[in-house]
Amino acid sequence: MAVTIRDVAERAGVSTMTVSRVLNESDRVQSETRQKVEQVIAELGYVPNGLARGLSSQKTGVLALVVPDVSNPFFTKMVRGAENVAWHNGYRAILCNTESDLNREKAYLEDMLAQRVEGLLIVPTSDQSRRHLNLVQQHKVPVVLIDRSVEGFNYDLVEGDNLGGARRLVEHLLSLGHRRIAMLSGPLDISTSRDRLKGYRQALEDAGIVYEPELVIQTNVDQRGGYEATRQLLQLPVRPQAVFSVNNLAAVGVVEAVREAGLTLPDDLALVCFEDIDYASVICPFLTVMAQPAESFGTLALQLLLDRISGRAVDPRHVSLSAELIVRESCGAKQVRQPLELPVVS
């Protein structure tokens, strides 16, 4: 059907191996021959069959990025960073969107294994991703986790300082005089939710405030989840004074619910959250956030992956990136900036 290497070889009057050598830029081809072959390739619009190539050579030059939600700006910034590094190192990166659905995640991972990608970057859906990841490891395909760790799966990881970041956000709220602080948490089988909850509790404890379970609502870390959780919070007998949202999209839901209830931010309810939303922040610098260097997550993770692929790395490495507190209006304070700290490699 399609043009094959044989067609090219025939028309150029050489063997398929010679064409193959031209394709792979081996220098063992006379320049006249090479030119002739290249001309025929152009004439026929020949594109080598990657399947056959990969099957034979065991190399595809493709890396896969697997994320739970492509519409989350944090992940897309990360993806851009990773894609760029991949590109400049001669790899293509393909992206898979799992919609936080374990079945899809499994299917995509198996598919990527089947397609023989040379490495995987993944933001796992939850600790339950471990089963899939074990399969990947069993196939000896290098993996690097981003943003979320997976319990019982010790491997290369680039994550944020979730505990510390959460703590600082809550401390900030405390410093503004808030005592009754709610947390909008994600599912506890996601490491970031766990760690941020820990940070929240530590900050409260250090301030001598008793932890009240009814103030912590577990929900999905998207806009809808934030919206519903906030409605729940607003119905409590004694309303919280402030909310710490586990991430940016959930915070959007908070804003929505608060407005719908006819209340005002930050007067009726102060709000802080993890992760910034760039575009929104420029249009109106409103949310007080713990901003993470998303693009660096991607570039660093891809570096780790390349190290793994080339066999340079040995033990699992963990990179922890600090976040930056950006104080805006939603917390009810005026603007201050803390410098971004450097990455810590352990």
Residues that bind DNA (CB under 7 A): 1-6, 13-21, 23-24, 27-30, 32-33, 46, 48-49, 52-53, 55-57
Pick one of 5, 8, 9, 96: the residue that binds a copy of itself (CB under 8 A): 96
Site string for a copy of itself, 1-30 (x = CB under 8 A): xx----------------------------
Q: Which is nearer to a copy of itself, 138 or 235 (CB)?
A: 138
52 binds a copy of itself per the rule CB under 8 A: yes
The entry of DNA, a copy of itself, none that residue 21 binds, CB within 5 to 8 Å by partner kind: DNA
Enumerate residues 298-337 that contact a copy of itself by CB under 8 A: none
What are 157-160's contacts with CB under 8 Å, separation 24+? Answer: 157/316, 157/317, 157/318, 157/319, 158/297, 158/300, 158/301, 158/304, 158/318, 158/319, 158/321, 159/191, 159/192, 159/318, 159/319, 159/320, 159/321, 160/192, 160/292, 160/297, 160/320, 160/321, 160/322, 160/323
The entry of DNA, a copy of itself, none that residue 207 binds, CB within 5 to 8 Å by partner kind: none
Quote the tokens at residue 82: 């990773």
**Neighbour order of strands in the sheet with 324-326:** 216-218, 181-185, 242-245, 270-274, 288-291, 324-326
CB 337 within 8 A of CB 311: no
Which residues would be at the binding site for a copy of itself (CB under 8 A)? 1-2, 45, 47-55, 58, 60, 62, 64, 70-71, 73, 76-77, 79-80, 83-84, 87, 92-97, 99, 104, 107-108, 110-111, 113-116, 135, 138-140, 223, 248-249, 252, 255-256, 277, 279-280, 282-284, 286-287
